[in-house]
Amino acid sequence: DLLFVALGSPKQEVWIARYLPELKVKVCQGVGGTFDVIAGRVKRAPLLFRAIHLEWFYRLLSQPSRIFRQTALPMFAYQVLKSKFTRRSVQQPTFSVPTASVSRSRSDSGKSDHQSEKAA
């Protein structure tokens, strides 16, 4: 009931969004190049980068082709932080309640409002 998708970003996210409704899995997780690292196809970052949680930055420097794809990450982080620390007003949905075109209430004369309009 768990599916790992290792296509790299953004391909794996697009694939997950497209196929998740058809899959019978409870969890679908994009793992990027994790399997390449585990299989030894890609060298891990030096311990210094791993210790300060910048392994992604090392991979960016060692694989310049990633730079274009990774430029969206700072903007994403900014948007997440902005939404966390700013209040956004929740807009209520707008809808109208249908009303009857002819009133059935009786006026003082005993005639309906519709009949009163005809008499006038």
Task: Give the contacts of 55 (CB within 8 A, at least 6 positions apart).
Answer: 44, 45, 49
Q: pTM score, two decimals?
A: 0.47
Token pair of 45, please? 């970052």
Q: Looking at residue 106, what DSSP letter applies?
A: B
Closest CA to 33 of 60, 73, 1: 60
Give the tens place of pLDDT for each residue, 47-93.
999 999 998 888 888 887 777 666 766 777 788 788 888 866 555 55
Amino acid letter, residue 40: G
Percentage of the chain exceeding pLDDT 90: 22
Cα–Cα distance for residue pair 100/120, rounded to 1 Å: 21
